[in-house]
């Protein structure tokens, strides 16, 4: 892995170079082992929270971790194109539009002791803007090269805060073209419902049950690119104890191993179908 500026990253994409890099402000990573018709994203994987914000933040480190999506990058690490956030969503949320990306409160609790100075806002929003410059360059290149592509937008959610039974996997589809991509969504749901967890973890997958896919990452790509499907894919945090902040690496490994083959198969079927249909 190398450290590159946003401009250098974009130039490499435009030249179809393979590389693995972290942005020079350490806000996101991008790996391109080869140019393919699909990509994986983990925009909430990050936990970094820059030190100049610590004293002003009312949320504890654990409270921030609780709302982040740890290990979502790990689950798709074997795939050829992976983009992931390094910073906590509490600094700026990559899955929100720029005007709402910096929280004033989070999950019912005020975030800052004092309102953030403009210079702090500006620093965070520059990171947000840089990420989306790279996303735009990446999807532009994939559509140019393959005509169509699919992006697996990986997230997790806190199932223990729900008062009803919720699925292990949830797909959010309210902001995509379901008429065009409905079969692709259903086939992905079925694949996820067969994840080979241990006996004490049920493998269920539903569409728009807990979340509907209203994130900015999905909306940004969908609104700016006509031939890219973004599938908002949420896994319940059965891979950790969300109340005790204990990770279960064996469960993460199960997901990663399964997606290593099944995600690739799904992406290949998607490409064959839509390449022919236009």
The 10s digit of each residue's pLDDT in 201-223 is 999 999 999 999 999 999 999 99
Confidence at residue 109, expressed as pLDDT on a 0 to 100 scale: 87
Q: Cα–Cα distance between 69 and 242 in angstroms, integer?
A: 11
In percent, the amount of the chain with pLDDT more than 70 equals 99
Q: Which two tokens stand for residue 150?
A: 């699919």
Segment (H or E) for 220? helix 216-224
Mean pLDDT of the chain: 96
Contacts of range 50-57, beta carbons closer than 8 Å, 24 or more positions apart: 50/87, 50/91, 52/120, 53/91, 53/116, 53/120, 55/113, 56/112, 56/113, 56/114, 56/116, 57/90, 57/111, 57/112, 57/113
Is residue 278 pLDDT above 60, yes or no?
A: no
Question: Rounded to whole angstroms, what are the CA distances from 111 to 53, 95, 122?
Answer: 11, 18, 17
Question: Can you tell me the mean pLDDT for 26-37?
Answer: 98
Which of residues 20 and 162 earns the better pLDDT score? 20
If we measure between CA atoms, which residue out of 73, 160, 91 comes closest to residue 127?
A: 91
Which range is least confidently modeled, 125-134, 196-205, 249-258? 196-205
Q: Do the Cβ atoms of 137 and 83 come closer than 8 Å? A: no
Question: Can you tell me the mean pLDDT for 123-147?
Answer: 97
Segment (H or E) for 147? none
Confidence of residue 35 (pLDDT cuts 50, 70, 90): very high
Q: Which two tokens stand for residue 199?
A: 């006996």
Neighbours of 58 (CB within 10 A): 12
Is residue 160 pLDDT above 90, yes or no?
A: no
β 149-157/81-85 pair status: unpaired
The 10s digit of each residue's pLDDT in 249-268 is 999 999 999 999 999 999 99
Q: Cα–Cα distance between 128 and 130 in angstroms, integer?
A: 6
Q: Do the Cβ atoms of 57 and 91 come closer than 8 Å? A: no
Confidence at residue 276, expressed as pLDDT on a 0 to 100 scale: 60
Question: Can you tell me the mean pLDDT for 119-142?
Answer: 97
Nearest-Å Rg of the Cα atoms of the chain is: 18
Confidence at residue 277, expressed as pLDDT on a 0 to 100 scale: 58
């Amino acid at each position: 892995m190398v450290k590159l500026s946003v401009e250098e990253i974009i130039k490499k994409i435009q030249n179809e170079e393979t590389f693995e890099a972290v942005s020079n402000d350490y806000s996101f990573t991008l790996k391109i082992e080869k140019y393919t018709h699909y990509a994986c994203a983990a925009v909430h994987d990050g936990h970094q929270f820059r030190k100049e914000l610590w004293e002003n933040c009312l949320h504890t480190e654990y409270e921030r971790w609780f709302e982040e999506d740890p290990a979502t990058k790990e689950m798709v690490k074997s795939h050829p194109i992976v983009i992931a956030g390094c910073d906590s969503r509490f600094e700026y949320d990559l899955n929100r539009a720029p005007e709402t990306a910096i929280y004033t409160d989070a999950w019912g609790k005020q975030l800052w002791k004092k309102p953030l100075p403009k210079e702090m806002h500006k620093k965070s929003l520059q990171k947000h803007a840089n990420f989306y410059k790279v996303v735009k360059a990446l999807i532009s290149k994939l559509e140019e090269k393959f005509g169509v592509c699919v992006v697996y937008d990986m997230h997790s959610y806190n199932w223990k805060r729900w008062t009803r039974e919720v699925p292990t996997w949830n797909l959010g589809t309210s902001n995509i073209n379901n008429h065009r991509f409905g079969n692709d969504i259903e086939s992905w749901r079925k694949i996820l419902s067969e994840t080979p967890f241990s006996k004490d973890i049920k493998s269920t997958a539903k569409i728009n049950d807990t979340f509907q896919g209203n994130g900015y990452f999905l909306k940004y790509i969908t609104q700016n690119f006509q031939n890219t499907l973004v599938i908002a894919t949420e896994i319940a945090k059965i891979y950790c104890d969300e109340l005790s902040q204990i990770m279960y690496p064996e469960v993460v490994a199960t997901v990663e191993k399964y997606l290593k083959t099944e995600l690739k198969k799904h992406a290949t079927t998607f490409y064959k179908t839509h390449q022919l249909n236009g």
